Amino acid sequence: MIVEPSPTETHRLVRAARCAGKSVGCVPTMGALHAGHVSLIERARKECDFVVGTIFVNPTQFGPNEDFSKYPRTLESDLEMCREAGADLVFTPQTSSMYAPLAQTIVRVDRLASVLEGAHRPGHFDGVSTVVTKLFNITEPDRAYFGQKDFQQQLIIRQMVEDLNHPVEIITCPIIRESDGLAMSSRNRYLSPDERQRAGRLSQALRKAKQLAQETSLAPAEISAAMIDMLRSVEGIDLQYAVITNGRTLELLTEPTEPAVALIAAKVGTTRLIDNEILHFSLRQ
Ligand code: PAF
């Protein structure tokens, strides 16, 4: 496995693989890898001839009061995980090689990026769509792999790829969960043991929503009210939203129609967590 910090050299290595007739899979990450990331690299390994992981804690997607400086940086163990999962190349740029001091271009997806996470984290998705565009330009992948855990992010990237004619197929991979249901996230390592226990309630609320959608004829608003009830009663959880939306447009659902997704964001202590579950309305009229 090659570890390469230079965008130019990474581009050259990927080009060489493409010229040799290899298909390229890219797994963009910010490091602090866990089993969720490993599942993305393993999937890319199965589906592509040449697998590129990227590790870059992208400053432009963090707000001024967010955790950029304390975001976990665990490069050595990340590289070991990439190697074991079968990556061929890992791109590990410095901020200075990704953002020139006079850079002025931002890639912005409009409506999808303005709601939910976009409303709570202004500018976040501009940072994501801009850096992902740059990573796609550098690694020229045939396929790129993202986790369903960041549901809104993968929708925004799909929209961007369609709008800008990026020749890349976006693959969304299932959420990997801890044994109590907590969605794996690099930020889980901020949780104290007590907070870690409370955090399990988020996935319980989503499982409840899934069950209510499948087994009752409750309206989406009633199901989200049930999630809110479950989470508001837990001390130490500061719920930011628990909603049921259209799974493509992110508009709030008024009727039990599909695609549908339940989305939650909450602060557990000082750690902000997000999670989601695809819903199926089995009893819908
Ligand atoms: O999901 C992430 O880790 C980041 O948002 C991404 C896609 C690597 C862009 O920095």
Please state the atom number of ligand 1 nearest to the C-alpha of residue 30: 3
Look at residue 162 and tell me if it is in a domain: yes
Point out the residues that are catalytic: 37
Residue nearest to atom 9 of ligand 1 (CA): 128
Q: Which domain holds residue 213?
A: 187-279
Spacing, Cα 88 to ligand 1 middle (Å) = 20
Look at residue 182 and tell me if it is in a domain: no
**Dihedral, CA of residue 27, residue 129, residue 205 and residue 40, to nearest 10:** -10
Q: Are residues 102 and 236 in the same domain?
A: no
Spacing, Cα 123 to ligand 1 middle (Å) = 14
Q: Are residues 49 and 162 in the same domain?
A: yes
Q: Are residues 144 and 204 in the same domain?
A: no
Look at residue 238 and tell me if it is in a domain: yes
Full-prediction pTM beyond 0.95? yes
Crossing angle of helices 35-47 and 75-85, rounded to 10°: 40
Confidence of residue 282 (pLDDT cuts 50, 70, 90): confident
What pLDDT, in 10s, does the model give residues 95-150?
Answer: 999 999 999 999 999 999 999 999 999 999 999 999 999 999 999 999 999 999 99
Residue 242 has pLDDT above 60, yes or no: yes
Which residue, of 173, 195, 227, is where some domain finishes? 173
| Cα–Cα dist 245/215, whole Å | 19
What pLDDT, in 10s, does the model give residues 183-222?
Answer: 999 999 999 999 999 999 999 999 999 999 999 999 999 9
